[in-house]
A and B are shown apart, each in its own frame.
Chain A
Amino acid sequence: MSENPTKAATVPVLEARGIAKAFGPVEVLTDISLRVMPGEVHAIIGENGAGKSTLMKLMSGHLKPTRGTVAMDGEAVSFAGPVDAEHRGLVLVHQEILLAPDLTVAQNIFMGRELKRGLMVNDREMNRQSAEAVQSLGADIDPTTQISRLSIARRQLVQIARALQVPHRVVIFDEPTASLTPFETEALLKVIRDLRDRGVAILYISHRLPEVGAIADRITVLRDGKLIATREASELQPVDMARLMVGRDMSKLYPERGDTASHQNVLEVQNFDVPGYARDASFTLRKGEILGFAGLIGAGRTELLEGIVGLRTGHGEVKLNGNPVKFKTVRDSMAAGIVYLSEDRKGKGLLLAQDLRTNLTLATLEKFTKGPLIERKREDNSLDKAITDFDIRARRRDLLAGQLSGGNQQKLLLAKMMLLEPSIVIIDEPTRGIDIGTKEQIYKFISDLAKTGKSVIVISSEMQELIGICHRILVMRSSRIVGEVTGEAMTEDEIVVYATGVKINEAELYSAGNA
């Protein structure tokens, strides 16, 4: 750190001085002033659309402010672009995965700054350093693995490793844990603490409030493009953060659980295999039940259910309302009243470059055709209804799906799949990357589905959410269903024991020792 601690503690390494940003006539960010000190973790929280990402882009040179200035070390700077900002020691870890899928881990980490030995790239050295970099994040990934063979969580870690290769004084993390498991999150938080202890300033954006409480020194809350408050983290409980973010009381995030008096099995799965991902899975789903699937990323949850609905090859016995069924394609399972909503909304759920109407009716076009002709009018009516029923907030109807916020995309995807009038709804990571206000709406929606006699399967990496809404939780580990928890036993500790095969305090010890 600096030789002059008093100066270091009083001059912010990065500062926003009354910055504002307008896109056309719409001002998305108004007069934000923010000071980030060396050696502090400064968290930015707020609902989707509150302006967090815009603020980060302004402070990292991806966008230029309409008003106000950004300052480093007390002097106003104008970044020529993100590369310029990087040269000044400011790096942004993006939320989206920006890696070349066909290259290896090491090739990605060193892309654009390859180590050379004469004219040749020095693969051995790059592999060695990459392995070290990844290990320091608490993961064990072979640096010669192709990115496309890694899970999303592991790609995220590689991306963080890549960003940290640049000499840095300020690191901005944009939702870094959105796709990480508790294990990986714990390891990442440790890395961030290490960075902080070395005097690096951290800007940390997250939706996960308990995590923010655990890591942040100070917290700034944004709402509707305005700065609501900057507080010491010790003064704020997650409940207070949520209240500041939403502007109302959030104490009841999860709706009343409906009872599952019904013992009628709607779906019975026996000895189901999805080659390479799931082995010998057996479970039942009751009418009106919300069944959770917990487990670490890569445990095979997504693949098992994709296999059952016919999106992947899988073998095993599936009974729907007591009758044996075999879904060769996803069309078959849809026709039988089962829908699956992918965790990858942008990649597998919605056509981002098409408008809302096209997306809404895509899976059910035959309901909107008369002879060969699509009836635009009926589609429009259906979109009106979806916008009201699911509270989809779009400035304009002719927006493209890609222009919606994550929460509204999820609502649109729900609306699209509900047009199939399913009796069983499988939702994979229903609230990933979604703000807390929309989360509440989605939980309410899932709960209402179950109360009206439909059955829901929720796959989630957020244990709190499964515990909050599910009647029963199955835990998968290494391709197998290894446990079931219900009622009082539904606690994070219990789930982690099954998911990892270790007690939670052992897990902390393990990750601490490994990092």
Chain B
Amino acid sequence: MTDTKTITDTRGFGRKLADLDKTAVAPFLALAALFVLGALVNPNFLSIDNLLNVLTRSSFIAIIAIGATFVISAGGLDLSVGSMAALVAGIMILFLNSGAIDGDMAMLATGIVVAIGVGALAGLLNGAVITIGKIEPFIVTLGTMAIFRSVTVWLADGGSIAMKSIAMRNMFRPVYTGVFLGLPIPVWVIIAAGLLGAFILYKTSFGRHVIAVGSNEDVAKYSGIHVNRVRAMTYIIQGICVAIAVVVYVPRLGAATTTTGMLWELQAITAVVIGGTALRGGVGRIWGTICGAFMLEIVGNIMVLSNIVSEYLIGAVQGTIIIIAMLVQRTLQKKK
């Protein structure tokens, strides 16, 4: 209390290690544990091919969950991301099928812009209703979840929306299947989105405002932060992330169906929470989130490779993981 000058850090390495935020490290330790488990269950698990495959498949959830990290650390919640993904995919494919622009390449490029625009607008809709209407995010996004899904079903006439042009499909496919410098393109997209997300959240004043709003909205308001603007912006970022995930997803199958993106919201929220982000807001961990998305996919992969537990139970296992993760977080926080 009395010494004001103990500012310089003279603590030993051991103390610093002890000070290290355990909730930040825990997801990575859990990931390491899963690696060991996977290797024990099936030696093929650790093969580069298998791991890259898992990473690639985790990309949709990882990218969406990066957006969810913003929403949740600002104290919000977005349940509509899965339906939104289906809607964005549907509209994007309808646009690609419309032949509005000459040249497949130009068409694809514009299609991507359209997708991101639709995603951003859908996010803006969520954000505007929540902030201007002063309604709980849970309720608003529960509503838009139904709306987006239903509109998609309507657009698809109850079936699916597929890309018609085979040439365009072939041109688009490498975005999912392609490899650049030894890594699949979707993995590069995760890395890029992660870097950008981490930069925005940790290094910019907007990111600081997100954390402030999630920490305590009143303090943010009294500090002159435009709380509504910040909150709405997180939903727009979420929408853009959904759109980026869709751009990676569409080339995989070339179609959107009425079940596209089903339950993605749960997986995205799970990834965020097991990544160490606080569900009540005020703490955001981009890399933890990506780690969390990866863990969800690995668990599935191990179950497929092992035959110990039926893979039909994957949902149950993922559900168990989120509960365990919360318990671990709680315990670590108590010790602090």
Contact A393 B221 (CB under 8 A): no
**CB-nearest residue of chain B to A352:** B216
Residues of B near A352 (CB, < 8 A) are 216
Instruction: Tell me which residues from 1 to 25 in chain B have a Cβ below 8 Å from any Cβ of chain A.
Output: 1-4, 6-7, 9, 19
Whether A351 contacts B224 by the Cβ 8 Å rule is no
Bound together, the chains give a CA A384 to CA B6 distance in angstroms of: 12
User: Is the CB–CB distance between B204 and A369 below 8 Å?
Assistant: yes
Q: Within 8 Å CB of A353, what residues of B?
A: 215, 282-283
Interface residues of A in 247-284 (CB under 8 A from B): none
Residues of chain A within 8 A of B212, CB atoms compared:
351, 354, 358, 362
**Chain A residues with CB under 8 A of B215:** 351, 353-354
- Would you call B169 an interface residue if the criterion is a C-beta within 8 Å of the partner chain's C-beta atoms? no
Interface residues of A in 375-398 (CB under 8 A from B): 384, 387-388, 391-398
Contact with B along A355-374 (1 / 0, CB 8 A): 00010001101101100111
B222 A365 Cβ-Cβ under 8 A: no
B203:A372 contact, CB within 8 angstroms: yes
CB–CB B222/A331 < 8 A: no
Instruction: Please name all residues of chain B whose beta carbon is closer than 8 Å to the beta carbon of A340 when the two chains form the complex.
Output: 222
- Contact (Cβ within 8 A) A363 B223: yes
Interface stretch, picked from A92-100, A342-350, A485-493, is A342-350
CB of B205 within 8 Å of the partner chain: yes
Given contacts A372-B203, A387-B4, A391-B4, whether A311 and B219 have CB atoms under 8 Å apart is: no
- The verdict on B252 contacting chain A, using a C-beta distance below 8 Å, is no
B208 within 8 A of A: yes
With A347-B216, A365-B209 already in contact, the answer to whether A396 and B224 are too (CB < 8 A) is no
CA distance A354 to B220 in the complex (A): 12
Give A342 to B6 CA distance when docked, in angstroms: 30
If A351-B212, A351-B219, A353-B282 touch, does A363 touch B1 (CB 8 Å cutoff)?
Answer: no
B226 within 8 A of A: yes
B225: Cβ under 8 A from any A Cβ: yes
Are A373 and B203 within 8 A (Cβ)? yes
Report the separation of the CA atoms of residues A80 and B222 in the bound assembly, to the nearest whole angstrom: 42
A329 within 8 A of B: yes
When distances are taken between beta carbons in the complex, the residues of chain B under 8 Å from A362 are 208, 212, 219-220, 223, 225
Which of B9, B205, B216 contacts A374 (CB under 8 A)? B205
Contact present for A393 and B4 (CB under 8 Å): yes
The answer to whether B211 has its CB under 8 Å from any CB of chain A is yes
Does B136 interact with chain A (Cβ within 8 Å)? no
A393 and B1 contacting across the interface, CB-CB below 8 Å: yes
A60 CB, min distance to chain B CBs, angstroms: 22
Q: Does A141 lie at the interface of the complex (its beta carbon under 8 Å from any beta carbon of B)?
A: no
B interface, how many residues as a size bin? 20 to 34
Nearest CB of chain B from residue A344's CB, rounded to whole Å: 8
Complex alpha-carbon distance, A296 and B295, angstroms? 58
Taken residue by residue from 402 to 416, chain A's Cβ proximity to chain B (1 for < 8 Å, 0 otherwise) reads as 000100000000001
The 8 Å CB contact of B224, one of A334, A391, A397, is A334
Contact with A along B182-225 (1 / 0, CB 8 A): 00000000000000000000011110110110011011111111
The reply to whether A354 and B205 form a contact with Cβ atoms under 8 Å apart is no
With beta carbons under 8 angstroms apart, the residue of A342, A349, A384, A405 that contacts B7 is A384
With A and B bound together, what is the CA distance between A395 and B1 in angstroms? 6
Given contacts A353-B282, A362-B208, A372-B204, whether A387 and B222 have CB atoms under 8 Å apart is: no
Tell me the nearest residue of chain B to A48, going by C-beta: B1
Determine the chain B residues whose CB is within 8 A of the CB of A34 once the complex forms.
none
A330 with B222, Cβ < 8 A, contacts A369-B204, A372-B203, A374-B208 known: yes
- Interchain nearest-CB distance for B221 vs A (Å): 7
Tell me the minimal C-beta distance from B11 to chain A in angstroms: 9
Complex Cα gap A393–B2 (Å): 7
Please tell me which one of the listed residues A330, A349, A374, A395 contacts residue B203 in the complex, with CB atoms under 8 A apart.
Answer: A374
A387 partner, pick from B7, B224, B282, beta carbons under 8 A: B7
Q: Which residues of B (282-301) have their CB < 8 Å from a CB of A?
A: 282-283
Roughly how many angstroms separate A369 CA and B203 CA in the complex, as a whole number? 9
| Interface assignment of A49: CB less than 8 Å from any CB of chain B | yes
Nearest-CB residue, chain B, relative to A405: B1
Chain A residues with Cβ below 8 Å from B7 are 384, 387, 397
CB A419 to nearest CB in B, in angstroms, measures: 11
In the assembled complex, the Cα of A329 lies from the Cα of B227 at a distance in Å of 11
Enumerate chain B residues within 8 angstroms of A349, measured Cβ to Cβ: 219, 222
When C-beta atoms are compared, the residue in chain B nearest to A306 turns out to be B222
A340 to B224, CA, bound (A): 10
Docked-complex contact A354 and B222, CB < 8 angstroms? no
Shortest CB–CB separation between residue A250 and chain B, in angstroms?
Answer: 18
B204 and A331 contact, CB distance less than 8 A: no
Is the Cβ of B4 less than 8 Å from the Cβ of A347? no
A344, A348, A354, A373: the one contacting B204 at CB < 8 Å is A373
CA A364 – CA B55 in complex, angstroms?
41
Whether A350 touches B219, Cβ cut-off 8 Å, given contacts A329-B226, A384-B7, A393-B2, is yes
* In the bound complex, CA of A347 to CA of B221 (Å): 11
| Cα(A384)–Cα(B221), bound, Å | 26
Q: Across the two chains, which residue of chain A brings its CB closest to B281?
A: A353
CB neighbors of B among A443-463 (8 A)? none
Give Cα distance in the complex from A331 to B215, angstroms.
19
How many whole Å from A50's CB to the nearest CB in chain B?
9
Q: Are B4 and A369 in contact (CB under 8 A)?
A: no
Q: Give A513 to B177 CA distance when docked, in angstroms.
A: 85
A191 to B220, CA, bound (A): 40
Within 8 A of A (CB), among B239-289: 282-283
**Smallest CB gap from B282: residue in A:** A353
A354: chain B residues at CB < 8 Å are: 211-212, 215, 282
A17 to nearest B CB, angstroms?
26
Query: Which of B6, B206, B212 neighbours the largest number of chain A CB atoms within 10 Å of its CB?
Result: B212
Min distance, Cβ A386 to any Cβ of chain B, angstroms:
12
Question: When chains A and B are docked, how far (Å) is the Cα of A227 from the Cα of B19?
Answer: 33
Please, which residues of chain A bring their CB within 8 A of the CB of B4? 387-388, 391-394
Structural contact, A330 and B224, CB atoms closer than 8 A = yes
Q: How far is the CA of A358 from the CA of B282 in the complex (A)?
A: 12
Q: Which 6 A-B pairs have the closest CB atoms?
A: A365-B205, A363-B223, A331-B224, A351-B215, A348-B218, A362-B223
A-B contact pairs, 16 of them (CB 8 A): A49-B1, A331-B224, A331-B225, A351-B282, A354-B211, A358-B211, A358-B212, A362-B208, A363-B225, A366-B205, A373-B203, A384-B7, A387-B7, A393-B4, A395-B6, A397-B9
Given known contacts A351-B219, A373-B203, A384-B7, what 15 new A-B pairs fall within 8 Å (CB)?
A: A329-B226, A330-B221, A331-B224, A342-B222, A347-B216, A348-B216, A349-B222, A358-B211, A358-B212, A362-B212, A362-B219, A369-B204, A372-B206, A388-B4, A396-B6
